[in-house]
Amino acid sequence: MSLWLLFKDELNGFYRSKIMLALWVGLPAMALLLYFLVDDIEGMPITVFTGLLVSSIGGLLTSVLIVVNILNEKEKKVYDLFLIRPIRRENLLLAKFGAVFLCVTVASFIAIVLAAVLDSANEGYNVQDILTSMKDSLIIALSIMAINCSAGVLIGVFSPSVLIGVLLVLFGSNQLSSLVLLPMITGWGEMWMIGLASVGISGSLLFGAAMVFRRKEF
């Protein structure tokens, strides 16, 4: 079974999940609430603030979703059936990561676009300002969620139980993903550094998960 087929199968399952449906509705709704409830965010555009909030909440929920999904499949001996067939073990993890990341990216994009429209209506930003805010927000959101998703894959592979897995997500991956924001917070880095750092961290976490998964006995 190819990576593409595994990806489509995982995508078919994840986009119908209750958590993903909640994110697709909840994240855009959050942008609306911010628009009506928040008067001032220290001069920060609603678009950028939405990107930070969306990435934090979306990343945490999707990380937990991946961990619980992998651990449930391990408990039900799902991988016993997969691994007796000529399938590369890492493809199972990459398909799961890709499916969840794509789903949460769509939800985040909708929320950020809505926030940008509201920003424009509220503050009268010109097209260049709107596009810049959207770009920064998307980089932040995708960077944080990529790290959370890849950390969720790694935690799911080696965690012995759902409880421990969820605790590791709450006190591990969530803090790790926030590190990519240091260049923006400290002011010594550029936005592209956040994206580059997230690619490196996510790739390392997925590589580690693949190495553990290859040697794991089921």
pLDDT digits (tens, 9 = 90+) for 114-136: 888 877 776 666 667 777 778 88
At 132, which helix (H) or strand (E)? helix 127-158
Q: Is the CB of residue 32 less than 8 Å from the CB of residue 114?
A: yes
Q: Residue range 72-95: average pLDDT?
A: 80
Q: Would you call 208 helix, strand, or coil by DSSP?
A: helix
pLDDT of residue 208: 94
Residue 205 confidence (pLDDT) above 90: yes
- 130-to-41, 108, 135, 151 alpha-carbon distances in Å: 17, 16, 9, 31
Q: Residue range 138-143: average pLDDT?
A: 87
Mean pLDDT score of the chain: 81
What one-character DSSP code corresponds to residue 171?
I
Q: Residue range 151-160: average pLDDT?
A: 92
Q: Which of 31-40, 63-72, 168-177, 189-198 has the highest mean pLDDT?
A: 63-72
Provide the whole-model pTM: 0.86
What is the Cα–Cα distance from 85 to 99, expressed in whole angstroms? 22
* Confidence at 193, pLDDT banded by 50, 70, 90: confident
* Confidence at 95, pLDDT banded by 50, 70, 90: very high
* Confidence at 183, pLDDT banded by 50, 70, 90: low
pLDDT of residue 188: 64
* Confidence at 202, pLDDT banded by 50, 70, 90: very high
* Confidence at 19, pLDDT banded by 50, 70, 90: confident
